[in-house]
Amino acid sequence: MNTLESKIITVIGSGLIGRSWAMVFASGGYSVKIYDNQPGQAAKAILEISKQLKELEEAHMLRGELAATQQLTLISSYEDLSQALEGAFFVQECVFEQLEIKQSVFQEIEQVVGKDVILSSSTSCLVPSSVFSRVQNKSRCLVSHPVNPPYYVKLVELVPHPQTSPTIMETTHALMTKVGQVPVCLKREIDGFAINRVQAAIIAESWRLVQDGVISVKDIDLVMSEGLGMRYAFIGPMETMHLNAPEGLEDYMKRYGKGIMRVLTSFGPVPDFFDEGAGSIIKEMCELIPNDEQHLSARKERRDQFLMHLSKLKKDQ
């Protein structure tokens, strides 16, 4: 039987990412078992998921072909690991971002599941060789790193362990595609994967420009939200360059490559996000969006606007 014809997926951890994965998998018609070792947490997660699914359906933003009530019936909660793993062909781990905890979780999972069950971690920064170091059969292990929030941002990075079987990568790619995600495959593990490395580069230069007095916090955010972000939401940097010269990427580099290299050599060192200068940047940010109880509702409204805008953008594509 084709692995994808199996219908049970186990999600380990019932926090924000775990709930999001459960909703994504259920939207694709899979039965999802949510496990949490904290009493009552998995059941509580289903109540939260129920609320979100109804809100999404009312806003015409629900993913998949099933109604909210149908998707909810596919999700169940467990406090016993063996019961949660029974019948699953794919396990998505979503526990705290602490190496020791993840290693212990996968060590325990491997003692329960069969040899063909795929073990996947949601880690955002821990490389597979570290996460799965205590697993005996590493050929069925990989990282499936979502972008937060996974339900709205569909990209997921698939990062192999050095021993991961190509078949496991292919099966996971097919699964993620089937449930509506957009998977990208890294050819090998690297610190930060792809998303966080690109993000770190943007953060570093944005921080330097503000700290050096070149631009304000407000305006550097506008550089992204009203400039690069608008472009890159539809066309990535490589395709942008390829389309911006008459004869493609090679032509683009002939025209602009030296200028790009000149700018890159002017970049400063890695910023210290904890030195005295960081305080002024944090203060400027907090003046724009205060970080206190009084402004929590405004921040939540801003976040909800982002999610609605994001969903509409993708629907209109």
Query: Beta strand pairing status for 8-12 and 75-78?
Result: unpaired
Domain 8-185 and domain 194-234+272-316 have a common topology: no
CA 241, 245, 250, 251 dihedral sign is: negative
How many C-beta atoms lie closer than 10 Å to residue 32's C-beta?
26
Q: Which of 113-117, 203-207, 241-245, 312-316 has the lowest mean pLDDT?
A: 312-316
What span, in angstroms and rounded, lies between the C-alpha atoms of 286 and 192? 27
* pLDDT digits 0-9 by tens, 60-98: 999 999 999 999 999 999 999 999 999 999 999 999 999
The architecture (CATH level 2) of 194-234+272-316 comes to Orthogonal Bundle (1.10)
What span, in angstroms and rounded, lies between the C-alpha atoms of 42 and 279? 39
Domain ranges of the chain: 8-185, 194-234+272-316
Q: Which CATH code is given to the segment(s) 8-185?
A: 3.40.50.720
Stated as kind and residue range, the H or E segment containing 183 is strand 182-185
Question: 0.85 cut: is pTM over it?
Answer: yes
* pLDDT digits 0-9 by tens, 129-178: 999 999 999 999 999 999 988 999 999 999 999 999 999 999 999 999 99
Alpha-helix residue ranges (DSSP H) falling in the chain: 16-27, 41-58, 68-73, 81-85, 99-110, 128-131, 166-178, 195-211, 217-223, 229-232, 237-243, 249-265, 276-288, 296-316
Residues 6+ apart with CB under 8 A from 119: 91, 93, 106, 109, 110, 113, 132, 135, 140, 141, 142
